[in-house]
Amino acid sequence: MSANINLLLHADEESLKQNRKKKLFNLIAVGLLMAVCLIAIVVFILIKAVNPESIRKQQEDVLGQISQFQNRQVKLLILSNRIETAEKILKTRRDLPKITSSLLAKIPSDLPVDTLEVNGKTVMISGQSKSLSAIGELIDNLTDMARRKEIIKSLTLSSLTFDGSKGAYQVSVTSEL
C-alpha cells in the first residue's frame, strides 16, 4: 500500500472552491437585480420620451386654426358629397335617348312604329307595314344588333299577323337590354 494515496481534498483547497462558487453566485444575483432595475429605468425613460400628450396639444392647436375655416370645411364636405352622388347618378343611369335613337335608326321608313316601349330590362317594338320585306329588314337589323351585343342582347319575334281589313302585316318584337 502506498503511503501517498489520499482520497480527501486538502481543506484549504476545498474552502477556496466554495468561496469562488459563493462569489460567483453573489455576483450573478446582484448583476441580475441591477439589470432588471436598469431595464425598468430605461423603459420608463422611453415611455416618458414618447409622450403622446405633446402631440395631442399640437392637434388642439391645429384644430383651433382649422375652426377658423369651418365655413369652407362644411361647404367642401357638402360639395364632395354631392359630386360623389352626381357622379354615381351619371354613371349608373341608362342612356335611354341613345337606346331609342339607335333602335329607331334600325326601323325601315316604310314600317311605321305603333309602339316602342323601353324600360330598364326590355324593349318592345310593334309596327305595321304592307310590305313583308320591311318587316324582314327590321328583323335582320335587330338580329344583327343582338349578334353584336349592340344595345340589345336577344331578339324574340312575339307576333306576326296579317290584318285583312287594313291589308297590312302587324309585327311585334321583344328584346333584352
Partner 1 sequence: MKNKVNLDLVSLKFIFDRYKSYIIPVVIILVSVILFYQFVIPEFSALREAQREAKELSQELEVMKSNLNVLSNIDEDVLDSQLEILTLALPLNKDAIRILNSIYATAQKAGVSLGAFSFAIGDISKSENTIDLPVIKLSVPIEADVVGVNSFIEIINRTVPLSEISSVQIGNKSSKIELSSYYKSLADSSYNPKARINPVSQKELTLIDQLNGFEDASVVATSSGQVQALILTK
Query: Total residues contacting partner 1 (rule CB under 8 A)?
Result: 65
* Residue whose CB is less far from partner 1, 10 or 93: 93
* Residue whose CB is less far from partner 1, 117 or 147: 117
Shortest Å distance, C-beta 95 to partner 1:
7
- Work out whether strand 122-129 and strand 168-176 pair parallel, antiparallel, or are unpaired: antiparallel
Instruction: Work out which of 1, 8, 11, 89 binds partner 1, going by CB under 8 A.
Output: 89
Is 15 an interacting residue with respect to partner 1 (CB under 8 A)?
A: no
Q: What is the DSSP string of the chain?
A: --TT---SPPHHHHHHHHHHHHHHHHHHHHHHHHHHHHHHHHHHHHHHHH-HHHHHHHHHHHHHHHGGGHHHHHHHHHHHHHHHHHHHHHHHS--HHHHHHHHHHTS-TTS-EEEEEE-SSEEEEEEEES-HHHHHHHHHHHHHHHHTTSS-SEEEEEEEEEETTTTEEEEEEEEE-
* Residue whose CB is less far from partner 1, 55 or 160: 55
Residues 107-136, one symbol each (x = binds partner 1 by CB under 8 A, - = not), give: -----xxxxxxxxx----------------
d(CA 139, CA 135): 6
Footprint on residues 29-88 left by partner 1 (CB under 8 A): 29-30, 32-33, 35-37, 39-40, 43-44, 46-47, 50-52, 55-56, 58-59, 62-63, 65-66, 69, 71-83, 85-88
Q: Which residues are at the interface with partner 1 (CB under 8 A)?
A: 22, 25-26, 28-30, 32-33, 35-37, 39-40, 43-44, 46-47, 50-52, 55-56, 58-59, 62-63, 65-66, 69, 71-83, 85-90, 93-97, 100-101, 104, 112-120
